[in-house]
Chain A
Amino acid sequence: MIEIKNLVKHYGDKKAVNDISFTVKDNEILGFLGPNGAGKTTTMNIITGYLSSTSGSVKINGHDILEEPALAKKDIGYLPEQPPLYLDMTVDEYLKFICDLKQVPAKERKEHISQIMDMVGISVVSGRLIGNLSKGYKQRVGLAQALVGDPPILILDEPTVGLDPNQIIGIRKLIKQLSKNHSIIVSSHILSEIQEIADRVVIINHGKVAAVDTIMDLSQRLSGTSKILMSFNGPAKDVSARLKMIPGIADVSIRNPGVPGEVEITLAPKAGNDVRANAFFMMAKSGWPILEFRSLNPSLEEVFLSITAG
């Protein structure tokens, strides 16, 4: 569990981080978003102890990062934006060194390392010089480094950058797997990725927290209640009139998709009402086949853009 309270970091007159507070619960994945220069990297650097905050506190599993740095840092695995790789070492040598640094007991090292390499998919290059690896492999070695010592808290900055689509899926699976018993903060520019894996999301802008919520709630907040798009075969006006009679539906608007016979209707439910079942049954009873039926939630991208527009 990570508790961040009133974090502030000054650089001269500029406030890079201006009163940020949030919590990461155990076994959850928190997405960390923000435009460039919003203070994401600074915040993560402060959480991991690389920088000291000007004021505010960071507590890692109850240990304050400034007062009990060794205990706090032992619980953190950090993959920074630029993976900290020694290009003149082989993957194996490097991970052994990290084990040393993180005080992994000597007996367990060999197995631990091979386990991690399997997890991350770099076993095949374990004897190769890091400087000779492709970007994708380098990235994964960086990720492996964060996993050494099995720290309960992982902070990953752009973990899938440079990876091909297959590898990305693999890493996402891995992160989701890990979240079963780790607290994870993932920062990414690939919003679809965050959308997929994160339980909650923190959006920061200009050094302040602009939003903290689950993605669902966020997009709902933005758009009110989720709208529904339905396209079907049938008389537009009759259907819309029937739909309007369903309790819980606030508004119905018709859109002609241009395909003869098909009608597109947008249903806007009243706040807090889930009208999907009722709408379906109504259409079925009336004998109008539904061709397409989906929720119209604003994507995370829309959420993000609207929040960070100012």
Chain B
Amino acid sequence: MSTNEKTPVKNVSKVSKNATSNKKHKNERAHQLKIYAVGSVLILLAIILLANVLLDKVLGNALTFDFSVQNSNVISDASVQFLDSLPQDAKIRIVGLFERPSSFYETKYQYIVPLLDDYQKKSNGKVTVEYVDITKNPGIIQQLDPTNSYNLKTLTGWYVVSYNGKLDVIDPVSCYTIDTDMLNETNSFIATGINTEYTFTNSMMSLVKGFTNKAYFVTGLKENGSTQFKRLLNGMGVEAVDLAVSSGFKVPADCNLLILNGPNSDITEAMYSEIKAYVEKGGKVIISVDYSADNVNEAFPNLNRLLNDMNIIVEHSMVSENDPSYMLNSKINDSQADVTDMFSEFSSEKKMHITLARPLSLTAALNSNYTTDAVLVTSKSATKSVADENNQAKQIDSNPGKINVAMRTAYNTDKPGEVYVFSTVNFTSDVYYEQFTLSDRNADFMKSCVRSMLPTSAQYNINIPVKRLDGNRLNDNKATTSAGTTVMIVFMIVLPVILSSMAVIVYNKRKNL
């Protein structure tokens, strides 16, 4: 009886098994197709992911081609040669005091970050590039600058180049040359060129070679700061130290260049003798003065005596530029001055930026031991003014003519002593370089000037031409405002309207077909 009961159950299960296996067989084709479809999609995805990861991580850099503006992301042979010339165990650290940006397009790092990576790539391990966020890792400051001479805490966003305990700091903005016209007209910074490579290679150069010249800045004459100009000199391998005014003022024996940067009070008699002797022994001097509120009441008798002995008169008045094409922002005391032919090699620009300048002229009686030449001259429409009681400019000499604003005088020996006199502080002041940066044409000019006086420093200065960016600049004569308006009207109004009306027309026409 139990067997009978059991068998029906067995049969039922057999029947249902058959049913499912039949169903499986019937569904097989669909099932197979499904597996094939899903499988092929997954396999394709896997292949694609694999191929992409491989390409990216393994071959990524090899398959990147730089067609950029004159290879602005790749270092040139000059830098490569410099890197190769370094000893194998040289270790230069470039540290960006910020987190490496993941996306630096359209930031000031656009032309810097990739270029620095190229230094690292081509240096055979001699140059390393890192990015350290100083808020997260403040220890880096101690590492790089143990004596805190550079106050790195305040320099977030800057780069530090470090070699053997010696340091240089680089502001990314200084890696660009600026369109000065745009700056003057619209106060906006448009980069016209990149000199990242010049800046960094020379920075490394001067750190490695050390200083080859020493410049002394005379302090204690109520002058304003010289930090920027010192940096400019550092970058040329010229050490810059202060030399305080004292009763026993002496120009040190190792002084290659003496600088009076915008004194607002007169030098002493002792200084007069010292400096004159220094020049006549072949020394180099840069003096810059101007006519500003700080010194308008100062007569400078000793300084004047020094300069008069060298054929130069610094007048007690202010240059007023009247030629509009030389004036900047329609100001009489903020203008451009021409570089004279003799000094045209100092810059590719023909005009320099002067502000609040004093007229310089030759003495009536010339000292034949000195050869004196004009370096910068105004337009032929310049006049002279003084400040009246209300600090307004009052014209004193209405005969327009060319006025010198920079001169050079050289003591005629086999090792000529040279003095450059600038009657504007735009070539040496912090105020000027903080606004216009050390990429400005004035800085270019000064570098050439210094190089001409200190030829040994030229050896240790690699000249890497600026890579121009301003190809994007439109020709102002063709891209006029009216042309712009035409562009706007055509592209933003006319064409869209035409297209929209075509849409309507076509729609209506076809609707009724």
Binding site for B on A (CB under 8 A): 8, 10, 52-55, 88, 90, 127-129, 132
Given A52-B30, A132-B512, list of 19 further CB < 8 A pairs?
Answer: A8-B26, A10-B23, A10-B26, A10-B27, A52-B33, A54-B26, A54-B29, A55-B25, A55-B26, A55-B29, A88-B510, A90-B513, A127-B513, A129-B510, A129-B511, A129-B512, A129-B513, A132-B511, A132-B513
Chain B positions 6-38 with a Cβ under 8 Å from a chain A Cβ:
23, 25-30, 33
| C-alpha spacing A88/B26, complex, angstroms | 42
Q: Chain A residues with Cβ under 8 A from B25's Cβ?
A: 55
Q: Chain B residues with Cβ under 8 A from A88's Cβ?
A: 510
Query: B298 CB to closest chain A CB, in angstroms?
Result: 87
- The one of B27, B512, B513 in contact with A54, judged by C-beta atoms closer than 8 angstroms, is B27
- For this complex, into which size category does the number of interface residues on chain B fall? 10 to 19
| C-alpha spacing A50/B23, complex, angstroms | 23
Query: A91 CB to closest chain B CB, in angstroms?
Result: 9
| C-alpha spacing A203/B33, complex, angstroms | 31
- The one of A10, A90, A128, A129 in contact with B30, judged by C-beta atoms closer than 8 angstroms, is A10
Query: A21 CB to closest chain B CB, in angstroms?
Result: 15
Q: Chain A residues with Cβ under 8 A from B512's Cβ?
A: 129, 132
Q: Chain B residues with Cβ under 8 A from A8's Cβ?
A: 26
| C-alpha spacing A127/B510, complex, angstroms | 10
26 pairs, CB–CB < 8 Å, chain A vs chain B = A8-B26, A10-B23, A10-B26, A10-B27, A10-B30, A52-B29, A52-B30, A52-B33, A54-B26, A54-B27, A54-B29, A54-B30, A55-B25, A55-B26, A55-B28, A88-B510, A90-B513, A127-B513, A128-B513, A129-B510, A129-B511, A129-B512, A129-B513, A132-B511, A132-B512, A132-B513
| C-alpha spacing A10/B26, complex, angstroms | 8
| C-alpha spacing A61/B349, complex, angstroms | 87
Chain B positions 496-513 with a Cβ under 8 Å from a chain A Cβ:
510-513
Query: B76 CB to closest chain A CB, in angstroms?
Result: 57
The 4 nearest A-B residue pairs measured at CB: A129-B513, A54-B26, A55-B26, A128-B513
Query: A55 CB to closest chain B CB, in angstroms?
Result: 5
Query: A85 CB to closest chain B CB, in angstroms?
Result: 14
Query: A122 CB to closest chain B CB, in angstroms?
Result: 14
| C-alpha spacing A277/B512, complex, angstroms | 63
Q: Chain A residues with Cβ under 8 A from B33's Cβ?
A: 52
Q: Chain B residues with Cβ under 8 A from A90's Cβ?
A: 513
Closest residue to A127 on the B side, CB-wise? Answer: B513
Chain B positions 68-111 with a Cβ under 8 Å from a chain A Cβ:
none
| C-alpha spacing A10/B23, complex, angstroms | 9
Q: Chain A residues with Cβ under 8 A from B30's Cβ?
A: 10, 52, 54
Query: A217 CB to closest chain B CB, in angstroms?
Result: 32
Q: Chain A residues with Cβ under 8 A from B26's Cβ?
A: 8, 10, 54-55
Of listed A53, A54, A127, A128, residue having the most chain B CB within 10 A: A54
| C-alpha spacing A132/B23, complex, angstroms | 48
| C-alpha spacing A127/B512, complex, angstroms | 11
Q: Chain A residues with Cβ under 8 A from B510's Cβ?
A: 88, 129
| C-alpha spacing A8/B22, complex, angstroms | 12
| C-alpha spacing A103/B33, complex, angstroms | 29
Q: Chain B residues with Cβ under 8 A from A127's Cβ?
A: 513
| C-alpha spacing A127/B25, complex, angstroms | 52
| C-alpha spacing A54/B31, complex, angstroms | 9
Q: Chain A residues with Cβ under 8 A from B511's Cβ?
A: 129, 132
| C-alpha spacing A303/B119, complex, angstroms | 93
Query: B506 CB to closest chain A CB, in angstroms?
Result: 11
Query: B305 CB to closest chain A CB, in angstroms?
Result: 96
Q: Chain B residues with Cβ under 8 A from A55's Cβ?
A: 25-26, 28-29
Of listed B26, B30, B33, B513, residue having the most chain A CB within 10 A: B513
| C-alpha spacing A90/B25, complex, angstroms | 47
Q: Chain B residues with Cβ under 8 A from A52's Cβ?
A: 29-30, 33
Query: B18 CB to closest chain A CB, in angstroms?
Result: 16
| C-alpha spacing A270/B512, complex, angstroms | 66
| C-alpha spacing A52/B29, complex, angstroms | 9
Query: A72 CB to closest chain B CB, in angstroms?
Result: 17
| C-alpha spacing A55/B26, complex, angstroms | 6
Closest residue to B23 on the A side, CB-wise? Answer: A10
Of listed A52, A53, A55, residue having the most chain B CB within 10 A: A55
Chain B positions 479-511 with a Cβ under 8 Å from a chain A Cβ:
510-511
Closest residue to A15 on the B side, CB-wise? Answer: B26
| C-alpha spacing A134/B512, complex, angstroms | 14
| C-alpha spacing A301/B101, complex, angstroms | 82
Closest residue to B509 on the A side, CB-wise? Answer: A129
Q: Chain A residues with Cβ under 8 A from B513's Cβ?
A: 90, 127-129, 132
Q: Chain A residues with Cβ under 8 A from B28's Cβ?
A: 55
Q: How does the 8 Å CB contact mask read for B23-55 relative to A, with 1 for contact and 0 for none?
A: 101111110010000000000000000000000
Query: A96 CB to closest chain B CB, in angstroms?
Result: 15
Closest residue to A90 on the B side, CB-wise? Answer: B513
Q: Chain B residues with Cβ under 8 A from A10's Cβ?
A: 23, 26-27, 30
Query: A155 CB to closest chain B CB, in angstroms?
Result: 23
Of listed B23, B29, B511, B512, residue having the most chain A CB within 10 A: B29
Query: A36 CB to closest chain B CB, in angstroms?
Result: 24
Q: Chain B residues with Cβ under 8 A from A53's Cβ?
A: 29
Query: B141 CB to closest chain A CB, in angstroms?
Result: 69
Q: Chain A residues with Cβ under 8 A from B29's Cβ?
A: 52-55
Query: B493 CB to closest chain A CB, in angstroms?
Result: 29
| C-alpha spacing A201/B209, complex, angstroms | 104
Q: Chain B residues with Cβ under 8 A from A132's Cβ?
A: 511-513
| C-alpha spacing A90/B510, complex, angstroms | 9
| C-alpha spacing A277/B27, complex, angstroms | 58
Query: B502 CB to closest chain A CB, in angstroms?
Result: 16
| C-alpha spacing A128/B27, complex, angstroms | 47
| C-alpha spacing A129/B30, complex, angstroms | 40
Q: Chain A residues with Cβ under 8 A from B27's Cβ?
A: 10, 54
